[in-house]
């Protein structure tokens, strides 16, 4: 065989080789504490290899607090902050801190007010000791809006402050509180212990989005395809969660990811699925941003003025009414 023919044959064989697979885009993602029911779509996307299918590879970093996570995001140490409360990001957007809202995660708050068995409704909270997070955080706005239909204000109850669901439930059990605001699954545990559910925050705060995924604006603008692919994977996971045929597998995913008990995982699924808590609009609404700004004003941040268009990156997140 001549050298020319051999060279031609080698070139032909090289052309037949499959091209090497493109490397997945690495994305650094912050999560507060650990995986839980509120980050369920992320656990589904990981378990069902949806991130890989969309060409992204998340590096999960567990953070001790939401403020610390958002600080790291603004500094560029994180690309995405997952399932963050939306009040602080709106404040950061107003201060041009280099972050944007990519997705609303929980469209309303899943917090539940539970109380002593003798209490019949939120109207019975007048003069009672009620535990919330603090006067400066979103739980104050939530409880204010829950009391309003019963012609009560925060001044009509004795507000007690404690920063975590665990500590507030402990105070309820010891009798230090008459009622308190709890997040699932603590609210389910309280019910099983004989305490009474008096109201769900989302039912009284329907226009106030609760959590979302926040992006570093510089990163997302420079890596728009990676950002779009990351959220495409989570959007697909959220749609999968809502298919009732997937209930058993979804529960197993939460048990594995969050070390939940089967009972807690099942109750969490039925609660979140039944209330349509995970947002599927893929948009940030003007009405929701206006409600968040109003909440900040109620908390004393009267200088915050932000529109929905200010809080998103075009091409990644659409704005709706």
pLDDT tens across the length of the chain (321 residues): 555 554 444 444 444 454 444 689 999 999 999 999 999 999 999 999 999 999 999 999 999 999 999 999 999 999 999 999 999 999 999 999 999 999 999 999 999 999 999 999 999 999 999 999 999 999 999 999 999 999 999 999 999 999 888 999 999 999 999 999 999 999 999 999 999 999 999 999 999 999 999 999 999 999 999 999 999 999 999 999 999 999 999 999 999 999 999 999 999 999 999 999 999 999 999 999 999 999 999 999 999 999 999 999 999 999 999
DSSP 137-183: SHHHHHHHHHHGGGT--GGGSEEEE-SSHHHHHHHHHHTS-SEEEE-
* pTM for this entry: 0.90
Same-domain status, 99 and 216: yes
Same-domain status, 144 and 235: no
Number of separate domains in the chain: 2
Same-domain status, 214 and 87: yes
**CATH number of the domain within which 167 lies:** 3.40.190.10
Name residue, tokens 């650094």: 28
C-beta of residue 80 within 8 angstroms of C-beta of residue 234:
no
Which pLDDT value is given to residue 2?
55
- From residue 2, alpha-carbon distances to 8, 11, 32, 197, 215 in Å are 10, 14, 66, 87, 59
How many CB atoms neighbour CB 255 within 10 A?
A: 15
C-beta of residue 298 within 8 angstroms of C-beta of residue 141:
yes
Which pLDDT value is given to residue 4?
52
Same-domain status, 125 and 33: no
Residue 12 in any domain: the answer is no
Residue 149 in any domain: the answer is yes
Same-domain status, 78 and 226: yes
How many angstroms separate the CA atoms of 1 and 13, rounded? Answer: 16
Same-domain status, 198 and 213: no
Q: How many CA atoms lie less than 13 Å away from 194 in the CB half-sphere? A: 5
Same-domain status, 198 and 163: yes
> Range of 231's domain?
25-108+208-315
Work out whether the CA dihedral 112, 113, 119, 122 comes out positive or negative: negative
User: Beta strand pairing status for 211-216 and 99-104?
Assistant: antiparallel
Which pLDDT value is given to residue 304?
96
Which of 185, 204, 223 is the last residue in one of the domains?
A: 204
Same-domain status, 224 and 300: yes
Smallest CA-to-CA distance from 99 within 79, 115, 119 is with 79
Same-domain status, 29 and 164: no
Which of 170, 188, 204 is the last residue in one of the domains?
A: 204
Greatest CA separation for the chain: 99
Q: Which residues pair with 283 in a beta bridge?
A: 318
Same-domain status, 248 and 189: no
Residue 293 in any domain: the answer is yes
Can you tell me whether residue 196 is helix, strand or coil? strand
Same-domain status, 148 and 83: no
Which pLDDT value is given to residue 12?
47
Same-domain status, 96 and 212: yes
Q: Which residues pair with 25 in a beta bridge?
A: 56
Residue 11 in any domain: the answer is no
Residue 257 in any domain: the answer is yes
- From residue 313, alpha-carbon distances to 56, 150, 188 in Å are 19, 40, 38
Residue environment code for 205-223, b if the CB has 16+ CB neighbours within 10 A, otherwise e: beebbbbbbbbbbebbeeb
Residue 8 in any domain: the answer is no
């Amino acid at each position: 065989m001549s050298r020319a023919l051999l060279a031609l044959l080698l070139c032909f064989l090289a052309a037949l080789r499959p091209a090497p697979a493109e490397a997945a885009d690495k994305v650094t993602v912050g999560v507060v504490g650990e995986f839980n029911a509120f980050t369920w779509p992320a656990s589904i996307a990981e378990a069902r290899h949806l991130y890989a299918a969309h060409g992204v590879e998340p590096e999960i970093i567990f953070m001790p607090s939401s403020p610390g996570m958002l600080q790291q995001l603004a500094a560029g140490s994180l690309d995405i902050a997952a399932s963050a409360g939306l009040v602080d990001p709106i404040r950061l957007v107003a201060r041009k801190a280099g972050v944007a809202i990519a997705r609303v995660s929980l469209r309303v708050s899943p917090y539940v007010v539970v109380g002593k068995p003798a209490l019949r409704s939120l109207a019975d909270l007048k003069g009672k000791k009620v535990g919330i997070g603090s006067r400066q955080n979103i739980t104050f706005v939530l409880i204010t809006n829950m009391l309003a239909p019963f012609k009560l204000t925060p001044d009509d109850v004795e507000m007690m402050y404690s920063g975590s669901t665990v500590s507030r439930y402990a105070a309820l059990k010891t009798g230090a509180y008459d009622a308190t605001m709890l997040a699932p699954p603590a609210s389910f545990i309280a019910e099983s212990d004989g305490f009474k559910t008096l109201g769900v925050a989302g039912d009284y705060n329907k226009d106030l989005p609760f959590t979302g995924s926040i992006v570093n604006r510089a990163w997302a603008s420079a890596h728009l395809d990676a950002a779009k692919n990351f959220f495409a994977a989570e959007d697909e996971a959220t749609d999968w969660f809502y298919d009732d045929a997937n209930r058993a597998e979804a529960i197993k995913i939460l048990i594995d990811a969050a070390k939940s008990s089967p009972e807690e995982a099942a109750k969490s699924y039925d609660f979140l699925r039944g209330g349509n808590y995970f947002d599927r609009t893929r948009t940030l609404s003007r009405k929701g941003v206006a409600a968040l700004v109003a909440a900040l004003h109620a908390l004393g941040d009267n200088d915050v003025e932000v529109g929905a268009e200010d809080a998103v990156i075009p091409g990644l997140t659409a704005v709706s009414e």
